[in-house]
């Protein structure tokens, strides 16, 4: 696959707004394969994120869908109102050129997160169509992956956390 340039990040000085995107089956968190994903529900994770973001003067807008097209539509519709994305694309991570293109087309930086350590699981989960476009990737810390991802993203947007392979 051709390598697209990663979105450049300008230092953000105004209040930060982040779109938090969750892909298929993450609506079932809490009862879905807890040995991989832990026992917290998506609503609980969202409230942890809101609490952390609030302390940092960051606002969040959340979306979860089991439908790839709806997710692409949501990215397009919200690009104008967010500075960046926090993304757990779930299974779409491994399959979706459409989501890759939507995130690339948004021109907004993003951090990719996973609850489970995808590299310790089946080999088809070792491939991500998003990672090379992401600022960075956090996997394996269950709900805390989102909190670490948020901290990293906000730090990056404010210019205090460096990132990147270049
Ligand atoms: C996941 C890992 C994916 O491989 C899987 O399809 C998911 C969740 C995670 O958070 O660990 O649905 O993104």
Encode pLDDT of 62-114 as tens digits. Answer: 999 999 999 999 999 999 999 999 999 999 999 999 999 999 999 999 999 99
Instruction: Return d(Cα 138, Cα 56) in angstroms, integer.
Output: 20
Residue 148 CB partners (closer than 8 Å, separation 6+):
113, 138, 141
pLDDT at residue number 10:
66
pLDDT at residue number 71:
98
Residue 113 CB partners (closer than 8 Å, separation 6+):
86, 87, 88, 137, 138, 139, 145, 146, 148, 149
pLDDT at residue number 2:
39
Give the mean pLDDT of the chain: 92
pLDDT band at residue 30 using 50, 70 and 90 as cut-offs: very high
40: pLDDT strictly greater than 80: yes
Minimal-distance CA residue to ligand 1 atom 2: 90
Gap from CA of 115 to ligand 1 centroid (Å): 7
Strands of the chain, DSSP E: 16-22, 58-64, 84-88, 110-114, 136-139
Instruction: Return d(Cα 37, Cα 143) in angstroms, integer.
Output: 8
The CATH label, of 2.60.40.10, 3.40.120.10, 3.40.50.9100, 3.40.640.10, for the domain at 16-158 is 3.40.50.9100
Instruction: Return d(Cα 88, Cα 68) in angstroms, integer.
Output: 13
pLDDT at residue number 12:
82
- CB-CB contact of 64 with 48 (8 Å): no
Mean pLDDT of 119-142: 97
Atom in ligand 1 nearest the alpha carbon of residue 113 = 10
pLDDT at residue number 165:
54
Mean pLDDT of 161-165: 69
Which has the higher per-residue pLDDT, 160 or 134? 134
Within 6 Å (CB) of ligand 1, which residues are found?
Answer: 25, 88, 90-91, 93, 114-116, 118, 125
Atom in ligand 1 nearest the alpha carbon of residue 91 = 6
């Amino acid at each position: 696959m051709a390598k697209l340039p990663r979105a450049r990040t300008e230092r953000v000085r105004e209040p930060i707004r982040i779109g938090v995107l969750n892909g298929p089956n993450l609506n079932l968190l809490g009862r879905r394969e807890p040995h991989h994903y832990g026992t917290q529900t998506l609503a609980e994770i969202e409230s942890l994120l809101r609490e952390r973001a609030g302390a940092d003067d960051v606002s969040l807008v959340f979306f979860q869908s089991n439908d790839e097209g709806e997710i692409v539509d949501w990215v397009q519709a919200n690009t104008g109102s967010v500075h960046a994305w926090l993304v757990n694309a779930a299974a779409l991570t491994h399959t979706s050129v459409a989501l890759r293109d939507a995130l690339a087309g948004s021109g907004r930086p993003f951090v990719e997160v996973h609850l489970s350590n995808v590299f310790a699981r089946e080999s088809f989960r070792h491939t991500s169509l998003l990672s090379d476009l992401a600022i960075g990737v956090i996997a394996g810390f269950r709900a805390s992956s989102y909190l670490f991802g948020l901290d990293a993203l906000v730090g990056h947007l404010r210019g205090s956390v460096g990132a990147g392979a270049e």
